[in-house]
Amino acid sequence: MKFTKSVGMGMMALLLVVSTACSSGNNGAANTDKPEATKSANAGASNAEAGAAEAYTFGEGQTFHSNEPVSYSMMYSDHENYPYKADWRLWSAIQEKTNVTFDLSITARTEYENQKSLLVNSGDAPYIIPKTYDESAFVASGQIVPVSDWVQYMPNYSKAVKDWGMEEDLKMKLRDDGKYYLLPGMWEIAGGGYSYIIRKDIFEAAGVDVEGEQGNWTYEEFAAALKKVKDFTGSPYVISDQFKGESALNIAAVQYGVTAGWGISNGLTFDQDKQQFAFADNSDDFKSFVGYFNKLVTDGILDPETFTQEDDAAQAKFFKGDTYAISGVYQVLADFKSKMQDPNAELYMITQPGGPKGKLQIENSRLENGIMISQNALDDLGEEGFIKMLRFIDWFWYSNEGQMLSLWGVEGETYTLDADGNVVLNPDIYYNGMNEGAPKQLNVDYGFAGGMFAYGGSEKLRLSKMTEGERDFMTRIQETREARKLIPPIMATAEESEQMKLISTPLMDYVKTMTLKFVTGQESLDNWDNYKAQVEANGSTRYTEMANEIFAKTKSLLGY
């Protein structure tokens, strides 16, 4: 295949991230070697390099600091649980270290995505657009900078990519031009993900050795343990789940080699050996998957209201002691414990059960939401000022110093370090299950540990925000569950994406509808052949063919 110059240049920039990490000396001067791929995009950038020493300090192991005060416009999602305050210590701490302030465009969290679309599409977007989960809708607008052309100016970002082997992860962000348009948060290790919180006291009273057995459970063995609890308690149901079943279906789908719930996406899985996509949600594996959940419903273990009730209804049943398992993330465990009506209730997060495809880790991506950079920043600041802003972003979001600041705050004010360098949160400050009952909160009262900035970092930083119990949960996953390879992105053009969307929307709506009907027994599995025929009629084969055609054209860019 013959690739366009822009595709080749974009991929060269990506591959050179790991070898061109810019670092400055004590005077802040930068390495002026630039990848060939970015010379045309960054014409005149040498002037930025020449002026860097006089204008600001930056680099690996250094604090970004502008000699002159500078302000950058930025979108800000105002979370109702820790509403924005102009006098948060976060803002003054950033300014003290860097001489940078923000001109914030503040929007309520619930309206953030709508406001983002409005500002970007109108050409009025602030320079920095954090907390972006999906940038795909904005790429074609021309209003977002292809940041892969510029990351060689970000030494801390480049170091993380190289040291943590993030190259494969970043390929997931590539667009059809071979570039990426989002600076993602990056973690050295993947997270634990969603699993089941159980009443350990009740399971053990029912004869289940939770700690001894849970690490080896398959879904069938998990069902057997749930059956013991049902027989012991006589409860109508053992699980009445929240999230309308989306979480439970998602975490089990991984172990069955299919897609469902939150992770249903386009129904495709990828065969790493054959190097091709296949439609999974009408396969024999999918039939086994929905059959498993149908049996849970039929046996009176899973409440069919799981798929229609609101979260607070599911939680109320668990808190009252009417049910004994519920899916969630570890961070809610302390809050759930405080709401249990039985004061002796002992809650425990089990390792996710395995299945026909093995005992696999649920989380396989180490990327978080990230930052888009508006074209306005490049237009208004010019190349020299634009690179300077990128180097501030590089320090704040990607250096260990910046990540420690955004998460834990100011050493000596909100936290200290023990003899081993571990974070000790001040006893009068609460965060993430630490210091229960403390009068202050790290995010509410200080602005640190918020969703706008505190994402990504080293394994040590990730573990530092966990209680002892959550660290144990993470350890159990890492020791007993196998890491999964990433599925390659489908690097479709805008036209191809639109064609595929026209197929996938009605196709996956049908799959989702029938999944719930099979699970709840509204549709018999005896009618499986009819279901398969309708999935085919809705375009599953054509969709899969298109995915494989696109992959064949672009796989060399992805290293296949």
| Series of mean pLDDT values for 10-residue runs along the chain (560 residues) | 38 42 37 33 42 78 96 97 97 98 97 96 97 91 96 97 95 91 95 96 98 96 98 98 97 98 96 96 98 98 97 98 97 91 97 97 92 97 97 97 97 96 96 92 97 92 92 93 92 92 97 98 97 98 98 90
Provide the angle, in degrees to the nearest 10, between the axes of the packed helices 219-233 and 284-298. 10
Phi, psi angle pair for 49, to nearest 5°: -65, -45
Q: Enumerate the domain spans of the chain.
A: 59-189+367-401, 194-360+490-558
pLDDT for 248: 97
How much is the pLDDT for 140?
A: 87
What pLDDT score was predicted for residue 560? Answer: 87
Amino acid found at 324: Y
Distance, CA of 328 to CA of 198 (rounded, Å): 10
Per-residue pLDDT, 433: 84
Which fold, 59-189+367-401?
A: D-Maltodextrin-Binding Protein; domain 2 (3.40.190)
- pTM exceeds 0.85, yes or no: no
pLDDT at 26: 36
State the pLDDT at residue 194. 96
Q: Where are the alpha helices (DSSP H) in 174-283?
A: 200-205, 210-213, 219-233, 246-256
Let me know if domain 194-360+490-558 sits in CATH 3.30.1300.10.
Answer: no
In the 8-state DSSP scheme, what is residue 111?
Answer: G
429: β partners: 440
**How many helical (H) and strand (E) elements, i.e. helices and strands, does the chain have?**
22, 16
Partner residues linked to 269 by β-bridges: 278
Q: Which residues contact 312 (CB under 8 A, 6 or more apart)?
A: none
| The pLDDT of residue 53 | 53
Angstrom CA distances, 145 to 30, 353, 474, 513, stand at 22, 42, 36, 39
- Rg, C-alpha atoms of the chain: 25
pLDDT at residue 37, as a whole number: 30
Length reported for the chain? 560
State residue 54's pLDDT score.
Answer: 63
* Tokens read off for 419: 């003899």
Residue with tokens 């299950």: 433
First CA to last CA across the chain, in angstroms?
Answer: 14
Q: Do 194-360+490-558 and 59-189+367-401 have the same topology in CATH?
A: yes
